[in-house]
Structures are given as structure tokens and as C-alpha cells.
Amino acid sequence: MDAALSGLLALADPYILALIVIATLGGVLIGALPGLNATTGAALLLPFTITMDPIPAIVVLTTIYCSATFAGAITAILINTPGTSASATTCLDGYPLAQRGEAGRALGMAAVSSTIGGIISVIALMLAAPMLARAAYNFAPPEYFALTVFGLSMLASIGDGSPVKNILSGAFGVLLATVGVDLLTSVERFTFGYNELSEGIGFVPVMIGVFGISELLVQAGGLDTVRKQVSMKSIKLPGRADYVKVWRTILRSSGIGTFIGILPAEGATVASMIGYNEAKRWSKTPEEFGNGAIEGIAGSEAANNAATGGAMVPTLALGIPGSPTAAVILAGMMVHGLRPGPSLFTEQADFVYAIFWSMMLVNVLFFFVGLYGAKLFARVTFIPTQILWPTVFTFSIVGAYALDQSMMDVWIALAFGIIGFMMRRHGFSVVPMAIGLILGGMLETRLGQSMVMLDEQWWLMVTRPLTLFFFVLTALALFGPMIWGRFFKQRAPIDSTGE
């Protein structure tokens, strides 16, 4: 209770409150711009938070995360172009409503659903994260090593590529984490004579490169895209009949989004798809979906915003990012010397609860900002891309250089921008690579500690119940879908003959 009050009092600082308001506006702007998303926005702002104190810095990143996730609904409804991938299903019913002159009703439902979903997920975060952190007190280095391996196995299901390509991308990220001086042996690895690489490849320039600069190169192919905006002369909020119709959908999708968010490597996009499908499954009028069903908007938006709080549960409690944006936030915490896990909840409890309360506050703020500022933010989407993306590129270069005033970081950002672009061109997602870079350092450190603890007898790991449990989960995550698919493929001919 004392920690919760301390965290709440930390937000009473006018400076932090001002940052939350500004970051909320910025997050809505970022989420409303097609091509930008919460991950890109957090990555671009990450270097500018380095000079802040830990609480304001992480509050800004989490605020961007929550508000940008919601804002994708604005363009999804008004111009049939989701600002973020998590709002893709919102287009299906939001845009048809806008075409019928009910854009205000659609935006109002999106704002209400997003707010409720976000608040429910933050409450779950407040309850689940401390309990999970307390359970982690039973973890020794072998358990942490096995948990990190399990986190890496989940990379197969994250991103847009095939599972094999996602694993290869993640493995490349782990390889990048080995650059620098080995802390156990003091041997330099892959530095190629550059002293700047002795401490490894920094998280910040890599994040800027793979999420910011590579997106610039991808978007350069759509410079001539013309978007048509639906006119919205007035805002008509949803009526009582709408809320009566969707309240079960909102609660169901909030629970789905929170659960999906807690799963390592999943995120708002998966949550929105499942939330939308379940809304249609349980609807009394499923034939309306795709033609302007208010339940479709509620199901999608409640789920994708609920995933934000859920994704922060494993991020704070275990150091395993629950989503791509959570990975950027985790990188920001590590830059500030904060290590997620049980010690964070005991030694930095005021910091943790400040994050909780800030996420609660931003979910209320973007309700008003998103609803009453929707027309303004929708017009921002018509900023010429010839102006927008050079501006993003400038921010990327300045941000990469500002961290350590090092041109090496600028070259790293540029190099990984090109690498990220080439990976996307050939069907590889950049998200597993970024998460692999973060988890790779943890993996190596915990393996070294485990070897010291077990006197170099690595096989003793499987004699520890929790370690064995995580190894079994890893095997199921990697090979379960393949075995399950072959099992049903073999049974199919038998079942079709009736034998």
C-alpha cells in the first residue's frame, strides 16, 4: 500500500503530469499516422529519454505505447487505413459506419472500448505482476536461463514472417548480443578493432534502425498513395442502446486482450484479431459484421488496448517482453540501469507503481483526446509523405547520435536500417531480431552464472523441476505445432473413410 501511494504521489509532480499529457498527444499523433506505430514511436523517442530520470523516462514510453495503440482506430474509421496493425480489424466495421455518416458513433465506441480495455488490463497488471515477481524469488540462474530460452522460443510466433524465418531472425539478434568483451573471460568478440564496440552493440541505435529507418525505406515505395477521408461534420456519441448491446463484448475482449498480452512475444495485433472473431462468434447478429457492426469495433479495440497492460506483466516481472513495444520499453529500463524481476518490486517499488498509475491515467486521457480531437488528428494523416519521412529520418539520426555523441551509433542505426529493410523485403520480421538482441545478453549471462553454480555440469539443469518445466515448454512451443499438424494429417484419411 505504501508503494502504491508513493507511486501515485510521484505522478503529482507537475513536470511528470505535463510529460504524460504531451506524450499522450504525441502518441495519438503517432498512432494516427499510417506507417508509424507505437513501436516506431517509442524507438524514436528512446534516445531522448536517456537524459531524464527513470520514472519520467519510462512513463513517457509507456504513455506512447498506450495512446498510439488506441489512435490507430482514428484513421481506421475515417480513411479505412489502420494507423497501427492492431487496428486492422477496426477497419472492417468502422469505415462502413463512417460512410453512413456515423463516424462519431464509431469513434465514440472505439474510445470507450479502448478506455475500458486499457483500465481492466492495468488492474490486471497491478495484481498479476507483483505475484509473478514474488514467484520469481524461487528462481536461481538455471531457472532464469531456462525462462530466457523459453522466451526466445516464443519468437517463432511473433512478427509477419514464417516461424522458421522468425527463429532465424531471433538467432541473428542473439548473435549480435555477443559483440563486445565477454565479462567472464575478458575476450573481445566481433569488435574488428573498433573500441566503440567493446561494450557491445547498443540497443538504442539498433531499435532506431530496424523500426525507424527501415520503415522509412519501406514507406518510400508508397509516396504516391492518395487517401480519401470521410467527412465528419459533428460528433454523435454512441447511445444507451449501443452500450447495452456491447458491454459483454467489451468485457470479453478485455479479458482476451489481457491474457494474450501476458503471453511472451504476443501483442495487440493478435489480441485484436481474436477479440474481433470472438465478438462475431457470440453476436446475435453476426451477419452485420463487415457492414458496420458496432460490436466489431468494441471487440477489436477493447482487446488491442487491453493487451498493452498485459504485455507489461512479463516485461516488469520477468524481463521477458510481452510485445515489440514492450521490448523497446525494456531496453529503456536497461539503459537506465533498471533490471526487471523481483528486486525491481522490492527496491524500486515506487517506480513500478508510478508506471502502473501513469498507464491508468493515460487510458483516461486518450478517451477525451481521441474523441474530441479525432477530426484534427485525422487531418494530420494528410501531411505529405515527402515531408513526413525526411522528418522521421532526421529524428532518427539526431536520436542515434545524441545517446553518446558517437558517430559509430549513427552508422549502426543506418546499417540496421538497411538490414531491416532487406529483411522485410525477403519476408523476415525485424521484431524477433530486436527481442533476440535484448534477450541474448541475458541468456549468456545466466548461462555463465549457471555453469559456475553447477560446477560446469550443465546436465544438472534438468534435475531442477522449474528448469525442466521451462525446457519442456520450449520444446512444445517449437515442435508442438508440427507434431500436432502431422497427427491430424495422418488421422484425416482414416476419419474420412469412417473407420
pTM of the predicted model as reported, rounded to 2 decimal places = 0.72
| pLDDT over threshold 70, residue 74 | yes
Into how many domains does the chain fold?
1
The pLDDT value recorded for residue 234 is: 47
The pLDDT value recorded for residue 157 is: 65
Domain span at residue 81? 2-491
| pLDDT over threshold 50, residue 496 | no
The pLDDT value recorded for residue 32 is: 73
Domain for residue 9, yes or no?
A: yes
User: How far does Cα 327 stand from its chain's mean position?
Assistant: 7
Find out whether 70 and 366 touch, Cβ atoms under 8 Å: yes
* Residues 277-286, mean pLDDT to the nearest whole number: 84
188 phi and psi, to 5 degrees? -80, 135
Please report, rounded to a whole number, the percentage of residues in the chain having pLDDT higher than 90: 3
Domain for residue 499, yes or no?
A: no
**Band of pLDDT at residue 231, cut at 50, 70 and 90:** low
Per DSSP, the three-state class of 189 is: strand
Cα–Cα distances (Å) from 357 to 4, 14, 134, 364, in that order, read 8, 15, 20, 11
* Single-letter code of the amino acid located at 34: P
DSSP string, 453-464: HTTT-GGGGGGS
Domain for residue 498, yes or no?
A: no
Q: What is the pLDDT of residues 285-296, one digit of tens each?
A: 888 888 888 888
| pLDDT over threshold 80, residue 399 | no
Find out whether 339 and 72 touch, Cβ atoms under 8 Å: no
Find out whether 445 and 453 touch, Cβ atoms under 8 Å: no
| Of the listed ranges 98-107, 222-231, 242-251, the one predicted with least confidence | 222-231
Domain for residue 92, yes or no?
A: yes
**Band of pLDDT at residue 345, cut at 50, 70 and 90:** confident
| Of the listed ranges 3-7, 244-248, 420-424, 492-496, the one predicted with least confidence | 492-496
| pLDDT over threshold 80, residue 121 | yes
User: Helix/strand/coil (H, E, C) string of the chain?
Assistant: CHHHHHHHHHCCCHHHHHHHHHHHHHHHHHHHCCCCCHHHHHHHHHHHHCCCCHHHHHHHHHHHHHHHHHHHHHHHHHCCCCCCHHHHHHHHHHHHHHHCCCHHHHHHHHHHHHHHHHHHHHHHHHHHHHHHHHHHHHCCHHHHHHHHHHHHHHHHHCCCCCHHHHHHHHHHHHHHCCCEECCCCCCEECCCCCHHHCCCCCHHHHHHHHHHHHHHHHHHHHCCCCCCCCCCCCCCCCCHHHHHHHHHHHHHHHHHHHHHHHCCCCCHHHHHHHHHHHHHHHCCCHHHCCCCCHHHHHHHHHHHHHHHHHHHHHHHHHCCCCCHHHHHHHHHHHHCCCCCCHHHHHHCHHHHHHHHHHHHHHHHHHHHHHHHCHHHHHHHCCCCHHHHHHHHHHHHHHHHHHCCCCHHHHHHHHHHHHHHHHHHHCCCCCHHHHHHHHHHHHHHHHHHHHHHHCCCCHHHHHHCHHHHHHHHHHHHHHHHHHHHHHHHHHHHHHHHHCC
**Band of pLDDT at residue 61, cut at 50, 70 and 90:** very high
Mean pLDDT of the chain: 79
Domain for residue 497, yes or no?
A: no
| pLDDT over threshold 50, residue 419 | yes
* Single-letter code of the amino acid located at 130: P
* Residues 71-94, mean pLDDT to the nearest whole number: 76
DSSP string, 270-310: HHHHHHHHHHHHH-S-GGGTTS--HHHHHHHHHHHHHHHHH
Spatial distance between the Cα atoms of 142 and 466, rounded to a whole number of angstroms: 9
Task: Spell out the alpha helix ranges (H) of 11-81.
Answer: 14-32, 38-45, 54-78
Domain for residue 190, yes or no?
A: yes
The pLDDT value recorded for residue 62 is: 92
User: Helix/strand/coil (H, E, C) string of 160-183?
Assistant: CCCHHHHHHHHHHHHHHCCCEECC
| pLDDT over threshold 50, residue 498 | no
**Band of pLDDT at residue 379, cut at 50, 70 and 90:** low
Domain for residue 496, yes or no?
A: no
Which is nearest to 400 in space by CA: 214, 210, 211, 209?
209
